[in-house]
Amino acid sequence: MTSYTPNEMMTVAAARALKSSDVCFVGIGQPSAACNLARLTHAPDITLIYESGTIATKPNVLPLSIGDGELSETAMTTVSVPEMFRYWLQGGRITIGFLGGAQIDKYANLNTTVVGSYNKPKVRLPGGGGAPEIATSCGEIFIIMNQSPRGFVERLDFVTSLGHGEGGAYREKLGVTTKGPTRLVTDLCIFEPDPETKEMIVTSIHPGVTRAQIEANTGWRVRYANEVVETPIPRADELAALRELHARTKRAHGDQA
Amino acid sequence: MTSYTPNEMMTVAAARALKSSDVCFVGIGQPSAACNLARLTHAPDITLIYESGTIATKPNVLPLSIGDGELSETAMTTVSVPEMFRYWLQGGRITIGFLGGAQIDKYANLNTTVVGSYNKPKVRLPGGGGAPEIATSCGEIFIIMNQSPRGFVERLDFVTSLGHGEGGAYREKLGVTTKGPTRLVTDLCIFEPDPETKEMIVTSIHPGVTRAQIEANTGWRVRYANEVVETPIPRADELAALRELHARTKRAHGDQA
Amino acid sequence: MSQFLSLAEAVEATIYDGDTVAMEGFTHLIPHAAGHEVIRQRRKHLSLIRMTPDLIYDQLIGMGCADKLTFSWGGNPGVGSLHRMRDAVENGWPTPLAIEEHSHAAMANAYEAGAAGLPCAIFRGYIGVDLPKVNANIKRITCPFTGEMLAAIPAIRPDVAVIHAQKADRAGNVFMEGIVGVQKHAVLAAKRSLVTVEEIVDEFSPRTLNATILPAWTVTAIVEIPGGAHPSYAHGYYMRDNAYYKAWDAIARDRDGFLAWMKTNVLEKGPEIFAAQRQRLAAA
Amino acid sequence: MSQFLSLAEAVEATIYDGDTVAMEGFTHLIPHAAGHEVIRQRRKHLSLIRMTPDLIYDQLIGMGCADKLTFSWGGNPGVGSLHRMRDAVENGWPTPLAIEEHSHAAMANAYEAGAAGLPCAIFRGYIGVDLPKVNANIKRITCPFTGEMLAAIPAIRPDVAVIHAQKADRAGNVFMEGIVGVQKHAVLAAKRSLVTVEEIVDEFSPRTLNATILPAWTVTAIVEIPGGAHPSYAHGYYMRDNAYYKAWDAIARDRDGFLAWMKTNVLEKGPEIFAAQRQRLAAA
């Protein structure tokens, strides 16, 4: 059994939730690694879509930006950005939207806009990009984030994209018909929404991680499912595929990766 | 001096009003013949656009339908029909819209919908097609129609596309900023709008045509400009180009033309 | 995910009595073979949608398949009227036909809004004209920033879209080029879709980066029917059969003549007749 | 009708102090050379618009060219913050920068509406989020058919759009392919446009029937600048200079270091420096 890093565990755990039949709206960075790992292992026919307009792209190396030439070269086709957001995202054709964020709360609402007040921010973050409409237009949302007390907060400074709002039937009350965040994968564990309250509760803990560690890295009082399982460790083939992907990416991009 | 038919006179007179700098939205039939004659004579750089999505097309023969393959093959590019109506027509990029019709009134409003009442029509015509929005989105409108008492009527049964409405500032009052019909070319004469009332008045009469003939073929009381000129007869080069175009078309389409 | 089926299976799987059906094609790539199969399977009470209904809709209407037609220009291009459509509208034969009439701009926008998952489309149109007086689905909406009044119409969201395209690959993706009309929009706007193609290929090549492609997961059923657009045309395969369009005028003018023609040429035939037309009209 | 000009002439002819300017490019084909010339010509009080402002906007903002930025994602992709943009927003250096912030969907729709000549765009968005609380240009509109509340935003109609494309032909038509972003929309939405291209060719070939082409009469000025997108890339010509993006982080972090770098690398240079970058990064 090989050893693996928490980041590898996170990426593998996220990848496993994807199926060959999924049509996935992929963000750059950790979501992209997880989605391409799924494609290279158990979900070879998964459709990956990047907001730059590339449909069914099969990059051989991980893109460094949302619009790398590799994405367009290996895509089935590339459409304009307005078409992407109108026909493909808003049109309801995406099954999974894959998001990250700077801050998340217990209902999986995300903040990538500002820390502090909007008009006098402590930290000005990049902004929402595609997230606000990805969060409500995709069939469901997977989130991948490293866990930390600064990132996992009791109250967001700014709601950039909607998770389960204030919980319960919040989304339905706003007229939203999609499921919202159904899975939050971190470097420590997996959260899923409580069926009633929609609070994100821990359902699976990565091997070697303690509840105390999770709680120390979460700004809200963590709740657990009645049955919490241990996340199966990365298999050798999963690790090999992920490491080869990263190695190919490094060779292609050199120091730039 | 060669002889010519009234239809040739009409087509030549319509073609002469077009310039190389025009971007022209072209209807099938007489408008298409006039626009392509202009392109083959004095306006070689005119941009011809057909509503099937073909931009800057240079057909060697006249198309029989609005979507002939010849149009796409000789076009600079072909866009989808929604793009054509949204970005190119509604976007305000067309200088001249070229229309025909079944019925016209003295303010150059057109009917191509029904003769008789809408719900119990005497004659069900094909409908508006692109005309309603061509009439208001193009910089100005040229109309080409054979003159007859049935076609040139005091009152339309149905307003399919807006000309000058009830005259005067009618278009402006509706918020329309384009000029509307500035030229109506028939087999007998040329009408242009009176600057004030916007009634279409005769400004040029084709050689050999009498005022009595015009009046006998017009359902409203015809008015004339203070100075009515005689339409210059078709030049030999114009007639040659037009006849070659029709001959090429006939050779290409055989009996079908 | 698209399935490869026979034409009969594909029509059975995607088109039901009472459906709202958009068979699109703007002169080019009109799905005539699929329309014939709908007639053979005797679908009833269809609400037909098409910007430019021509011969195939005249045939469907004359055979009593349709209760309603939504359109913006209904005619036999360059020839004249659609006699079966007029007979249904004017005389209710063989069954009354309700019509909902729009402009091209309106329908193009309505398909576009349908593809975009919106409930309505807004555009600058229907100004100073009579159609809004006879079509309750034309409303006005005010721009909240400028106060400009715009036209609003419902998005088109058909139960099924039927189109003809040049190629499918073996994974069930669909490629088209040339005058592409509103076909991609119609498929994306519809709940189900039936696509007939000229041929099934290993790869779309030469592949361009921005080719018009419908991924397999946007298509319900694919059928290979060489010549399936005849008498319309397929760019790169065969030309438009203009003589057929002209001949249609006489065939459709008379009820009995029409019925006899349909029996001989549609009811008693199958999709295999289209290949011969393609061969006859193939570009040199 | 487009004119072929030098870069200095083209910026003089199309971009004026106080203009609303959209320099677009979605990772691909970002018009860096044109942006540098705007800095050299010391344009002031620009309202900059771009979905994904990155280095060239950081440079324009840091050099005091802009009063306002409308955007949906502002960062150095894969690297981190835009330090000059943050300094302007947080500290007003060198001049205060007002921001109007949107989502990608909103801006994509707003460009699309601009290209379509509409005053506003409607879309399903901004649900359950805070941006509408801080951006008065986000309103709601009710679908007159379903009652659904949709988001509405003003169309983007810039004074000038600036883009980089692969090719122009000698008649002044512009061709692009690959990740085409919102560039065609931006040009069609704008009153004027400046297009830099990798090369001017006799013919776009092989020509595809549905290629993305801006006709000459939609473009104001064209300038041939090989490598003009660097450190962005031009599909078919050269790759993205990822090292430059990473290096920018340190350069832009410090005001004095930034100013010194701009003096050496932009103010004292001309568009000819881009060709060398293209050669260096040309695909094998």
Best D71, D102, D127, D185 residue to mutate vs chain A (most A CBs within 10 Å): D127
CATH T-level topology, domain A6-256: Glutaconate Coenzyme A-transferase (3.40.1080)
Per-residue pLDDT, C2: 92
Pairing of strands C120-123, C149-154: antiparallel
Per-residue pLDDT, A28: 85
Distance CA C203, CA C101 (A): 41
Type of residue numbered D182? V
Q: What is the pLDDT of residues A112-170, one digit of tens each?
A: 999 999 998 888 899 999 999 999 999 999 999 999 999 999 999 999 999 999 999 99
Q: Tell me: pLDDT of D284 over 60.
A: no
Per-residue pLDDT, C102: 98
Q: How does residue D283 score in pLDDT terms, banded at 50, 70 and 90? A: low
List the single range of A193-202, B61-70, B166-175, C29-38 with lowest mean pLDDT: B61-70
| Residues of A belonging to the active site | 51
Contacts of C215 by beta carbon, 8 Å cutoff, 6+ apart: A47, A55, A56, A76, C173
Q: Tell me: pLDDT of B255 over 80.
A: no
Torsion of CA D83, D88, D93, D94, to 10 degrees: 100
- Counting as low any pLDDT under 70, the low residues of chain A are 1, 254-257
Task: For residue C238, report the phi and psi dihedrals to the nearest 5 degrees.
Answer: -160, 160
Residue A180 burial (C-beta neighbours within 10 Å; 0-12, 13-18, 19+):
buried
Give, for D149, the enclosing helix (H) or strand (E): strand D149-154
3-state helix, strand, coil in chain A (%, to 5): 30, 20, 50
Distance CA D88, CA C180 (A): 47
Torsion of CA B96, B97, B100, B104, to 10 degrees: -90
Q: How does residue D265 score in pLDDT terms, banded at 50, 70 and 90? A: very high
Q: Give the chain D residue whose CA is nearest to the CA of A64.
A: D78
Q: What is the pLDDT of residues C176-222, one digit of tens each?
A: 999 999 999 999 999 999 999 999 999 998 779 999 999 999 999 99
| Minimum-distance CB partner of B81 among C71, C129, C182 | C182
Q: Tell me: pLDDT of B257 over 60.
A: no
Q: Tell me: pLDDT of B1 over 60.
A: no
Partner chains of C (3+ C-beta pairs under 8 Å): A, B, D
Q: Tell me: pLDDT of B10 over 90.
A: yes
Q: Tell me: pLDDT of B79 over 70.
A: yes
Question: Does the beta-carbon distance from A78 to C117 stay under 8 Å?
Answer: no
Q: How does residue D207 score in pLDDT terms, banded at 50, 70 and 90? A: confident
Question: Does the beta-carbon distance from C127 to B136 stay under 8 Å?
Answer: yes
Q: Mean pLDDT over residues C47-70, rounded?
A: 98
Best A20, A21, A77 residue to mutate vs chain C (most C CBs within 10 Å): A77
Q: What is the mean pLDDT of chain C?
A: 96
Distance CA B87, CA D115 (A): 5
Q: Do chains A and B touch (3 or more CB pairs under 8 A)?
A: no
Per-residue pLDDT, A1: 55
Partner chains of A (3+ C-beta pairs under 8 Å): C, D
Q: Give the chain B residue whose CA is nearest to the CA of C244.
A: B256
Go through A109-125 and write b for each residue having 16 or more CB atoms within 10 A of its CB, e for each that does not: bbbbbbbeebeebeebb
Q: Mean pLDDT over residues C99-120, rounded?
A: 98
Q: Give the chain B residue whose CA is nearest to the CA of D171.
A: B45
Share of chain D above pLDDT 90, in %: 96
Q: What is the pLDDT of residues A81-95, one digit of tens each?
A: 999 999 999 999 999
C185 contacts on A by Cβ (under 8 Å): 87
CA A228: distance to chain centroid? Answer: 21
D190 contacts on B by Cβ (under 8 Å): none
List the single range of A23-27, B66-70, B89-93, C272-276 with lowest mean pLDDT: B66-70
CB A174 within 8 A of CB D128: yes
Torsion of CA B4, B9, B12, B18, to 10 degrees: 170
| Minimum-distance CB partner of A162 among D72, D128, D179 | D128
Q: What is the pLDDT of residues D138-183, one digit of tens each?
A: 999 999 999 999 999 999 999 999 999 999 999 999 999 999 999 9
Contacts of B237 by beta carbon, 8 Å cutoff, 6+ apart: B41
Q: How does residue B8 score in pLDDT terms, banded at 50, 70 and 90? A: very high
Q: Tell me: pLDDT of C283 over 70.
A: no
Share of chain B above pLDDT 90, in %: 90
Question: Does the beta-carbon distance from A90 to D71 stay under 8 Å?
Answer: no
Chain C contact present for B124, CB below 8 A: yes
Q: Tell me: pLDDT of C8 over 90.
A: yes
Per-residue pLDDT, D164: 98
In total, the C-beta contacts within 8 angstroms joining chain B to chain C are: 169
Could you please report the per-residue DSSP string of chain B? -----HHHHHHHHHHHT--TT-EEEE-TTHHHHHHHHHHHTT-TT-EEEETTTEES---SS--SSTT-HHHHHTSSEE--HHHIIIIIIITT--SEEEE--SEE-TT--EE-SEEE-SSSEEEE----TTHHHHHHHSSEEEEE----TTTB-SS-SS--B-SSTTSTTHHHHTT--S--EEEEE-SSEEEEE-TTT--EEEEEE-TT--HHHHHHT-SS---EEEEEEEPPPPPHHHHHHHHHHHHHHHHHHGGG-
How many beta carbons lie within 10 A of that of residue D178, not counting itself?
26
| Minimum-distance CB partner of B256 among C105, C235, C243 | C243
Chain B contact present for D210, CB below 8 A: yes
Residue B254 burial (C-beta neighbours within 10 Å; 0-12, 13-18, 19+):
exposed
Question: Does the beta-carbon distance from C118 to D137 stay under 8 Å?
Answer: no
How many beta carbons lie within 10 A of that of residue A170, not counting itself?
18
Distance CA A188, CA A230 (A): 11
Q: What is the pLDDT of residues C121-153, one digit of tens each?
A: 999 999 999 999 999 999 999 999 999 999 999
Sign of CA dihedral D76, D79, D81, D85: negative
C117 contacts on D by Cβ (under 8 Å): 124
Q: How does residue C1 score in pLDDT terms, banded at 50, 70 and 90? A: confident
Q: Which CATH class is domain C3-102+157-283?
A: alpha beta
Per-residue pLDDT, C59: 98
Per-residue pLDDT, C72: 97
Best B47, B68, B87 residue to mutate vs chain D (most D CBs within 10 Å): B87
How many beta carbons lie within 10 A of that of residue A104, not counting itself?
28
pTM exceeds 0.90: yes
